Copies of this chain bind each other. A is one copy, B any other.
């Protein structure tokens, strides 16, 4: 049984909130030991139970600034006054041993990844099956005022306007069929010639044996 060594890939899932991205990410992490979740650095305080290096790398604002200036982050953003970013080194280490890294980020983070790591990037956008269904999920989730729901829907609409920047698009009609498609995309991308770093030597051996 020949196993060709390969470089891991960066698997980005984006979607408007409520389209199923979080459920699909969880299913992937639970069923595929070859996939790990990307861990972000953040300047916000740890919440009870959150573990350093597992949930986040917790850093000071000063250290975060240094990481940005040194080019040590693949992408970063400021959200509600706190900084979040993806450290490059742990991702690179994972990719080198053939581990795939899952990213649950929005279109802005994805654009930064594209600038910094295009060859390793596989971008999947999840669309909801209908506006009604998306609105239903956003309302069910937000036990909030109409204002908050309206602001979530505006954000969902903005996120959705970026679907065309992704490599693959899945309309999430039902979660099992969408998950099967997601698994197929991952399996296929692992078969891509340029990710199989051991192929060149293997093909050479085959031909020399003939």
CB pair A210–B171 under 8 Å, yes or no, is no
Residue of B nearest to A193 (CB): B169
Which of A189, A193, A205, A208 lies at the interface centre, i.e. has the most chain B CB atoms within 10 A of its CB? A193
Please encode chain A, from 167 to 210, with 1 for each CB lying within 8 Å of some chain B CB and 0 for all others: 11111011000001101110111011100100110110111111
List the one stretch of A60-68, A74-82, A91-99, A124-132 in contact with chain B. Answer: A124-132
Candidates B130, B161, B167, B192; contact of A192 at CB < 8 Å: B167
A204, chain B: closest CB distance, angstroms: 10
**A161 and B207 contacting across the interface, CB-CB below 8 Å:** yes
Copies in the complex: 2
A157 to chain B, nearest CB (A): 4
Contacts of A160 in B (CB 8 A): 203, 206-207, 210
Size category of the binding interface on chain A: 35 or more
Instruction: Tell me the nearest residue of chain B to A152, going by C-beta.
Output: B210
A119 contacts the other chain (CB 8 A): no
Residues of B within 8 Å of A161, CB to CB, are 207
Q: Which of A29-82 contact B (CB under 8 A)?
A: none
Contacts of A129 in B (CB 8 A): 1-2
Question: Which residues from B are CB-within-8-Å of A167?
Answer: 192-193
Given contacts A181-B188, A185-B191, 4 further A-B contacts (CB under 8 A): A2-B173, A131-B206, A164-B199, A168-B193
